[in-house]
Structure 1
Amino acid sequence: MDADPAPFLYPLEHSKILHLVRHAQGTHNVAGEKDHNALLSPEYFDAHLSPLGWQQAGDLRKQVHASGQLRRIDLVITSPLCRAMQTATQVFGSEGQIDGSKGANIDNSGISSLKCPPIVAAELCRERLGVHPCDKRRTISENRSRFPAIDFSLIESDEDILWKTDARETDEEIAARGLEFMSW
């Protein structure tokens, strides 16, 4: 007799709910909408949030808090790219510790971890790698000083060894990296 083909469901108390949040608008997104070749510019290296991006992250923060969802979050996982960490800290960080409304200054990114879920940077949790400087991350030592509330202990190399100057990651490589991330 064949087994029931229905998927096995774990009891809720043994499960985790995963919410995926894309980074808010980055400066590279603004430039890329005007001219796709702008994404090749070193000016957008590890691009940060645009003023609209800060507003988007602030709006999401209000929604998360108003819904009571923040109390149910055990862990926030972020890409080690600036715009993703800025979004994560703006949405899930402590109240009043960061103010992106004054511009997209990367130095606004330091937050307190008081009364917020832990935030962990994961190298595999990144956008398509290669060629575009906006998708290359800063060193972990630099990021630690800019984002003191983020735990970078899962990232082994200080330098970005995944990003290549001459090759863009294929769809198959992205899928393999995604599966590796999900098995973490």
Structure 2
Amino acid sequence: MVQPQSIYQKTARSARHGQGWHNFGAGKYGIDKWEEYWTYLYNDDEITWGPDPELTPLGKSQAQAIYRCWAAEAPLGAPIKPDEMTWYVSPFTRTGQTLEESWGALLGRAPEVWEDWREVYGGHTCDKRSTRTILQKRFPSFKFEEGLTEEDELWKEDDRETDAHMQMRAQRAMDRLFGNDGAKETYISVTAHSAILRNLLAVLHHQAYPLATGEMIPVVVKATRLRANS
């Protein structure tokens, strides 16, 4: 017989990165032509969007708007102190830049980089990450998980990840968050991507909510740890 052992609750501030150059490209060419052709290339004669594109100036300003919001709320008691919160981020430049711009001086500890928070992988060149070495040079204050490989071994040119697999990743990430190596704090920040956050909400049986670039939503999660009686 299985009995409830412990009940845990966390509030996840879930943010999609600000506009990246791939998002700019999709707007430039239109989503249909982008998905059909341009997303499989690395650049055109004006911009580069793969692999691992950076934020556009608009993307940085979107992230900075989040910072201004938190900076205004912090003096009013918003729970964002280092002993109240842990920050997580996907291993991509656009998410790392978004996290830095959206938290700034309020960032109280080293953000943890987990590959399970990455965007759907395969096919689209924007979703191929940089090497671990490059990411560590770009974000020297971040804490990279031990299992993050040097090269992106998950991205394949001709194989796109499915929603079912993304939901497995999202579930694994949540299991880690509520497990022994996860956050002890009630409040967490996750800076990630549209598809993984969409699938995270599906795993949590939350109503669908497609995040715009540079948008953040809070999600309250209650987890019950079970134990089997002998």
What band does the TM-score fall into relative to the shorter chain? 0.7 to 0.9
- Counterpart CA distance in 2 for 1:8 and 1:56 is 42
Give the Å deviation of 1:9.
8.9
Flag the structure with higher strand content.
2
- Counterpart CA distance in 1 for 2:149 and 2:94 is 20
Kindly indicate whether the alpha-carbon contact (under 8 Å) linking 1:74 and 1:118 is maintained by their aligned counterparts in 2. Answer: no
85 and 155 in structure 1: CA distance in 2 versus 1, 3 angstrom threshold: farther
**Which runs of 5 or more structure 1 residues have no equivalent in the other structure?**
1-6, 96-114
Indicate which of 135, 143, 150 corresponds to 1:158: 150
Kindly indicate whether the alpha-carbon contact (under 8 Å) linking 1:122 and 1:154 is maintained by their aligned counterparts in 2. Answer: no
The equivalent of 1:167 in structure 2 is 159
Task: Return the TM-score normalized by structure 2.
Answer: 0.62
**Which runs of 5 or more structure 2 residues have no equivalent in the other structure?**
43-47, 177-230
3-state SS of paired residue (1:19): strand
117 and 65 in structure 1: CA distance in 2 versus 1, 3 angstrom threshold: farther
The equivalent of 2:102 in structure 1 is 91
Letter in 1 for 2:55: L
The equivalent of 1:34 in structure 2 is 28
- 1:22-50 per-residue CA deviation (whole Å, 9 max, x = no partner) reads 11111100101222132222231101101
User: CA RMSD for the aligned pairs?
Assistant: 2.2
Flag the structure with higher helix content.
1
Indicate which of 19, 22, 34 corresponds to 2:16: 22
Letter in 1 for 2:143: D
- Percent sequence identity over matched residues? 31
Indicate which of 40, 64, 81 corresponds to 1:71: 81
The equivalent of 1:132 in structure 2 is 124
91 and 163 in structure 1: CA distance in 2 versus 1, 3 angstrom threshold: same
